[in-house]
A and B are shown apart, each in its own frame.
Chain A
Amino acid sequence: MEALERDLEQLELFAEGLSDMDAILNRFYRYIHYYGELHINGTMEQFSTRDDVSLEIAEEGIFEGYERIKEYFSFMPKLARKPGIMIYHYVDTPVVEIAGDGKTAKLTCLASGLDAAAKALVQNWIYGKYHVDLMKEDGVWKLWHVQYFRTFETPMTVGWLKEQTAHDKELIHPELADVYADMPKGAPGSYPSDYPWPKHYDPEKVNYLMPEPPKSYDIWNGKTSMDITRKQ
């Protein structure tokens, strides 16, 4: 009977790993859904409240700490009141690595979608990738570090060969000025100063559109979103 109990304990751990996989994906997918609904409270509920929780969207710098992330998302309620707004941003092709100790996880996935700001005559295609760290807190998985890598954002009638950063124009468009006027500035982002590639698709340059999928690991040992293993 003792041997059976030991085996059952092992099986319980194994089953916990299986359910963790679903819980991790659900947590991040909830974030994506609330983000697309411009639902600031729902978006924030997916994050840990640890001091070192962080958000980094493309080249907008790092926002570290729960309140700083909330400050970043303060555009949501203002944007949601504008007519003709649509954010249809979704993810697929996820790769999840749960640490050997079961306390943290890393997720990468592909992101794509559309956005519209009718008054600004904006209708964009959006492509990008996510690298996300998650932490299990009292049995609940929460977002820890979220980093979005932009591939391109381009007007539907233009295409990614011609334009890759259409979102930047939205930020300064007069119709949306009151939405983004008080956007906080992030701390310097994760890209090192000597990063050899463009930070989004560039038709003129050799590209390496990060991040790489996570490798298996036992214990959290720092962010790996900028790790590069491809032989260049």
Chain B
Amino acid sequence: MEREEKLRARYEDLKRRAQRVSDIQTVEKLFNTYLQYYNLQHVEGILSTLALDQSDVSIEEGYSEVYEGKEAVESYFDCFRRLSQKPGILVEQHCVCPVIELAGDGKTAKLVCFARGVKAVAAAKLQTYLAGRYYVDFIRGEDGTWKIWHLHWFLIYDSEVKKGFMYSQTTNNEEWKHPELSDVFTARANKPSTYWPVIFNPKAPYDYIPEAPDPYETYDGITALKRTRILQHFWDRERY
């Protein structure tokens, strides 16, 4: 009997570890699914990856403000229904080098990755390449299904190809204002931005986040802005 109990304990430990590996695979696949739907401007697909049943589900992209809650998040992605009907649109973001931490309690997970890609808005004569990083919180629902809970895309540059990122970092501003797309980006955020925009600035010291997530036991809030690097504050942040 004692042997069976020991074997049962080993089985339970193995099962727990296998489940964690499975969860990490699932979380990465879920985020990649989100990005593939994002690139297709496939709104139903995007929304299927999000934890819309969570009252604080949220999206923050670049230096936009925060869209929090089901209604606001849905209204944000509604722009893709209009964008996808415009000629000459290209949206492509890739997930590279993901770091995933599954909470010790297995209920949540965090992911940070690089995101690079290309875009085009032919009517505005814009072809850009972009770089940034994603911070994503995931939550496991009561039915065991993982969903994206908080998503924050940190933009480093969105640069006109012919100019390069030394001279062009915020091409997306031109897109939003362009008459051709004036009816596309109409959603209004319901919370202020959490982050002052550190776009690549040739004149400013290097200070990009998010950092890769640390191991954690139980979810204790969004850590997208957490900095552990000891910053050399010899420069005046307000100047930039």
Contact = CB atoms under 8 A, between A and B. Distances in A.
- Name, among A17, A160, A205, A229, the residue most crowded by chain B CB atoms within 10 Å (CB to CB): A160
Contacts of A96: 29
- Looking at chain A, what size class is its interface with the partner chain? 35 or more
Contacts of A14: 15, 18, 22
A128 B44 CA distance: 23
Interface of A: 1, 4, 7-8, 11, 14-15, 17-18, 21, 92-96, 108-110, 112, 127, 151-152, 159-161, 201-210, 212-213, 229-231
B162 A159 contact: yes
Given A4-B11, A204-B87, A206-B84, A161 B36 contact: no
A98 B45 CA distance: 19
Interface stretch (B62-70, B118-126, B186-194): B118-126
Interface of B: 4, 7-8, 11, 14-15, 18, 21-22, 25, 29, 32-33, 35-37, 39-45, 81, 84-90, 92, 94-96, 118, 120, 122, 125-127, 161-162
A160 B35 contact: no
Nearest to B80: A230
B127 A161 contact: yes
Nearest to B22: A18
Contact of B36 (A18, A110, A127, A206): A110
Given A93-B95, A95-B36, A201 B45 contact: no
Contacts of A161: 88, 120, 122, 125-127
Contacts of A202: 87-88
Given A93-B35, A110-B36, A161-B127, A206 B22 contact: no
Contacts of A229: 42, 44-45
B115 to A, nearest CB: 9
A203 B120 contact: yes
A152 B92 CA distance: 12
A14 B26 CA distance: 13
A123 to B, nearest CB: 14
A205 B85 CA distance: 9
A110 B38 CA distance: 12
A159 B161 contact: yes
A110 B125 contact: no
B29 A209 contact: no
